[in-house]
Amino acid sequence: LRAARKAGLSVGAYLDREHAQPGSTPEAVRAMTKIGGLTGSCDVVCEIGPGSGRFAVEVIEALHPGAYEIYETARDWLPTLRRLPNVVVRPADGHTLAATPDASVDLVHSQRTFSYLKPYVVIGYLAEMARVVKPGGVVAFDTVTDPCLDERTAELWAEVGSIHHMISRDWLLQ
């Protein structure tokens, strides 16, 4: 937060600049809402692992949800996240969306989170996402799949270690 303020940038813009590509967060949200057919506004959005809130800010701006549910296990981000419009902080246990009723969410998403989780946790979250999304709603996420691991990346992971976990792309598609 301090570094973003010092740079005169929003947290999202700062993180994009330092750890991704400038503008990649709003670009990802535009793609997610376009591909998902989400326009205007929606009743309820649920995000797993919002962290800094950079995706939440963009989704709230794009969809103006009546409620934006968040499941965040890193308690140090909660004061920042609570300042966002219509945020509902749910009790996060790190593997379920227990406080969200079945078929109650227009969009349930997780960005830049699943690659840090063990595959069995991701599988559990995917089942939870399917449970809470309304019929015709949208489930969106990103993760690292086996085709992402080319020879150079494998060498780098072996050399320096990696905090990322992979999941089978074929399994996800099925």
pTM of the model: 0.92
pLDDT tens digit sequence for 5-38: 999 998 888 888 888 788 899 999 999 999 999 9
Question: Longest C-alpha distance within the chain, in Å?
Answer: 46
E strands in the chain: 44-48, 67-71, 87-90, 105-110, 133-141, 144-145, 166-167
pLDDT at 90 over 90: yes
Specify which residues 45 forms β-bridges with.
68, 107
